[in-house]
Amino acid sequence: MTHKFHPTVLREYDIRGVIGETLGPDDARAIGRSFGTLLRRAGGKKVAIGYDGRVSSPILEHALCEGLTATGCDVVKVGLGPTPMLYYAEASAEDVDGGIQITGSHNPPNYNGFKMVFQGRPFFGADILEIGKIAEVGDWLDGSGSVESREIMGEYIERLLAPIVALDDVGKDRLSTLRIGWDAGNGAAGPAIEALVAKLPGEHFTLFTEVDGHFPNHHPDPTEEKNLADLRQLVADKNLDFGLAFDGDGDRIGAIDGEGRVIWGDQLLMIYAEDLLKLVPGATIIADVKASRALYDQIAEHGGKPLMWKTGHSLIKSKMKETGAPLAGEMSGHVFFAHEYYGFDDALYAGVRLLIASARLGRSVTELRGAMPDMINTPEMRFQVDESRKFAVIDEVKDRLKDSPDEVNSTDGVRVTNDDGWWLLRASNTQDVLVARAESDSEAGLARLMEQIDGQLALSGLERGPQAAH
C-alpha cells in the first residue's frame, strides 16, 4: 500500500491543504503511518495528538490516530485546544516522544493541516518531505498501538500561571490593578483563555471564546489590523489597560495598547526584552529579518546580544536551541520563551508574560508602547513571482550588491541598511511570492528605499505592482 500527497500540501513548516480538494482523511492516515514509522525507527513510540476548532478536525484526528497505531505507536489524545497545549503535552510528559496538532492555523475555514514536533525538536523542511517519500513507496512499519485520552488543559493552565508566583508583592499588587481584553477570534484557544483569565489577578474581558470553525466574527489572524477592530472597540468602551488577540490555533499573539495603537510583533519583543534583560543580563535575543532596527538597537542598549535570523517559527526554534537564547520572536506574532518555559511559541504564555513585564517594569503597556521610536515603515508587501524564479531573483540581487557601500545582510534574502534606514527582499518559503519591507525615520527616506527595491526588481525583469499587505 502506498500514498501520494497533492503536490501543494507538504510545505516548509507544516502540512496544509484545502479539505475535500487537496487534503482529506486518507492523507491524515498516511501522515500518521509515515510519522509513526520515523518515530519508531528513531527509538520513540508514544505520540500526543490534539486538534483545533475547525469542522474537519475531528475526522482528520480519527484517521491520523488510525495511521499512527497501525505502525505500533501508542497515541495520547489531548483533544480540542490550542497548538501550544499540544506542544506542552509533548514537552512536559516523560513518556511522550512526539506530537501532532491538527490545525489550519489562521487560514480560511476550508483549510486544515498538521504541525509536528519530534522528540523535542521542530519537525519541518526535509522532515516533511521525508513523510511524502515514505508514503509514496509505502515504506511503513506495521504494528498495533494503543490509544488513551489524557486531560491536559488544567495542568497546562497551571503552568501558564507559574511565572506569577515568582513576582514580588509590588509586582503582584500591580497585576491586581490591570484591566485587560482578550479576543480569541472563535479559535481553538477560547476555552483555555476562559480558564486562564478566571485564575489571573486583575479584571478581564473576553471576546469570541466560543470555538467556531466558521469564524463568524472576524478572521483569526492578529497580524491583520482589520481583525483587531473588535478588540480595539472593547479596549475603548471599557477603558482597558490593553488588549490581546490570538490566531486560530493560539501560537501567535497580537496586541492593542490603551490608546488603541497596535503593538506589532517586534514592538512586543522590545517590551519582553527589556524585562528579560533585567533578569538575564547579556542574554542573546533572536528576531527575524523583518523586525525593526529599533528592536535590535533597544536589545543592545539594554545590554543584550541581538541576533537577526531567518523568518519561520521552526527555524527560529532551532536557532534558539543552538544558541541557548532565552527569548525570540517574529513580526508574525510568534513569541518564544525558553526563559522559565519550553522555548516553543505559545501566545497564551506570551500574554501572561506581557502582564508580568508591565508589572515588573512598573510602567503601563501604553507607556511602554509610547516610548518606542516612531519609525515609518511599509506593511509586509507580497507579490507573485514564478516559483522557479523566486530564489534566483534573490541571488541576482545579492550578486549586484556585493560591492555596495551599504550594509548587506544575507541571513534570509537581502536586508540592506543605509543612512535612510533599511529594506528587505526575501523569497517566501511557503508561497510563490517575494516579500518586501522597508523602514525609515522619514517619508522621504522611505521613498528612496522603495526606489531601491523597485530598481533591483526591474534589473531582474520584475516590478512590484499591486501587492497585498500581510
Could you give the residue numbers annotated as active site?
Answer: 105
Cα–Cα nearest to 429, from 6, 9, 12, 10: 12
| CB distance 50 to 86 below 8 Å | yes
Cα–Cα nearest to 343, from 382, 376, 316: 316
Backbone angles phi, psi at 287, to 5 degrees: -140, 160
DSSP 228: G
Distance of alpha carbon 291 from alpha carbon 434, whole angstroms: 17
Distance of alpha carbon 347 from alpha carbon 420, whole angstroms: 34
**Beta partners for 256?**
243, 262
Q: How many helices and strands, by DSSP H and E, does the chain display?
A: 15, 23
Distance of alpha carbon 131 from alpha carbon 294, whole angstroms: 40
CB-neighbour burial class of residue 161 (10 A; exposed 0-12, middle 13-18, buried 19+)? middle
- Distances in Å between the Cα of 140 and the Cα atoms of 144, 269, 403 are 13, 43, 51
Distance of alpha carbon 107 from alpha carbon 451, whole angstroms: 32
Q: Cell 476548532 appears where?
A: 53
User: Helix/strand/coil (H, E, C) string of 319-330?
Assistant: HHHHHCCCEEEC
Distance of alpha carbon 442 from alpha carbon 420, whole angstroms: 8
Beta strands in 26-128 (DSSP E): 46-51, 74-80, 98-102, 111-118, 121-122
